[in-house]
Amino acid sequence: MVNIHCPICGEKNKFKVRFSEKFEIESLEFVGRKTPDHMHFRVVQCVDCGLVYSNPIIPENKIMQLYRQSQFIEEPQLKNMVADYLGQFEKMQHFIHEKGRLLEIGCADGFFLNKIKKYGFKEVWGIEPSRGAYNNAPSFLQNRIKNTELKEGIFPGEYFDAVCFFQVFDHIVKPNQFLQIVYQYLKKGGILLAIHHDIKSFLPMVLRDKASTYDISHIHLWDKKTMRKILEKNGFEVCCIKNIANRYQLDHVMRMLPLPIFFKKLLRTFLKLTKLSNVSLKLSVENMISVARKK
C-alpha cells in the first residue's frame, strides 16, 4: 500500500479518518458502471481544505493495469448518460470560442465522441486506457481514439479548443499532473469541461459509505469548493461549477441502491414484469459540472 497526500494542500497536510478500509485485494475491480460492491480504501478528509480522498491506496501502476484489463459494460443506462452529457455540453458550449479540435479523456467506446461532431467540431479525439472499451468502439472511431492513459507527448501542445472528461476525475491518482497535461494540450482560452460526483450531494450525504460514490476506484472525491481550488491551483480560470440533474432508469436505480440482494432482485423482477425498467427519472442527487478556461 502507498500513502498519498492532499493534492491541494501538499505533503504536510493533516487528515482525519472518515471511513475505515473495506476491501479484499484479490477482488479489486476498476471498471465503470459496475454493480456496487461497497469496497473502498480507507477514506480520509484533509483538515485544511476538506478534500475527501483514499489513503493509503495500492500502487498507481497496479491501478493502471486494472484499468487496462477492465471490460466495457454496456447497459441501457448509457443512453441516458449520452443524452445528459450532450445536454450539459450544449448548455455550456457558449464558453468555447472556437470549435476546431475536441479531446475526451476516458472516452470508453466513443459513445459521446460519436455524437459531439454535430456541434461543429472539425476534429474529435479520445483517450481510453481499457482495451475492452477500445475494441468495442466502431471501426470508424478507433483511429481517433488513443488506447492509453493521459500523458505528455500524445498530441502537440496547445492543440485543442476543448477537453472534456465525464466520471473520470474521481479516479485520477495524481490530479495535479492530470490537470497540468490538460493545460498543456489546451490552446490559450481553451475550455475544460468535467462531470463527476459531488461528495456533498444528496446520495453520499444520506447513504454515507453505502453510496456508490464511495468506491474502490474513486481516489479523490470532490465538492464544489475543492474542485475550484484544484483548478485554480493549476492555472485555470473557473467559469462555472454547479450541481446538475441526471436521468436514471428505474432498473439502474435498483441496481445501484444499497438494498439486500433478495429484495433488490424482487424489485428488479417487478419492474421488468410491469415494463417499468426503462422508465427514467431526472434527479439532482450526486453529480456536478465544472467548466474552466486556460488563461
- In tens, the pLDDT along 44-67 reads 999 999 999 999 999 999 999 988
The DSSP letter of residue 72 is P
Measured distance between the N- and C-terminal CA atoms of the chain, rounded to whole angstroms? 37
Q: Is residue 1 part of a domain?
A: no
Please report where in the chains the cell 481499457 appears, as a residue.
130
How far apart are alpha carbons 210 and 50 in whole angstroms?
A: 20
CA angle 185, 191, 195 (to 5 degrees): 105
Q: Which of 210, 215, 180 is nearest to 63 (CA)?
A: 215
Q: Is residue 8 part of a domain?
A: no
Over residues 229-264, the pLDDT tens digits come to: 999 999 999 999 999 999 999 998 888 888 888 988
pTM of the model: 0.92
10 Å CB burial of residue 46 (0-12, 13-18, 19+) is buried
Number of structural domains found in the chain = 1
Q: Is residue 10 part of a domain?
A: no
CATH of the domain at 77: 3.40.50.150
How far apart are alpha carbons 184 and 257 in whole angstroms?
A: 39
Q: Is residue 7 part of a domain?
A: no
DSSP string, 222-278: --HHHHHHHHHHTTEEEEEEEEEEEEEEHHHHHHHS---HHHHHHHHHHHHHTT-TT
Residue ranges making up the domain that contains 184:
15-294
Q: Is residue 2 part of a domain?
A: no
Q: Which helix (H) or strand (E) holds 114?
A: helix 113-116
Q: Which residues of the chain have pLDDT under 70?
A: 26-27, 29-36
Q: Is residue 64 part of a domain?
A: yes
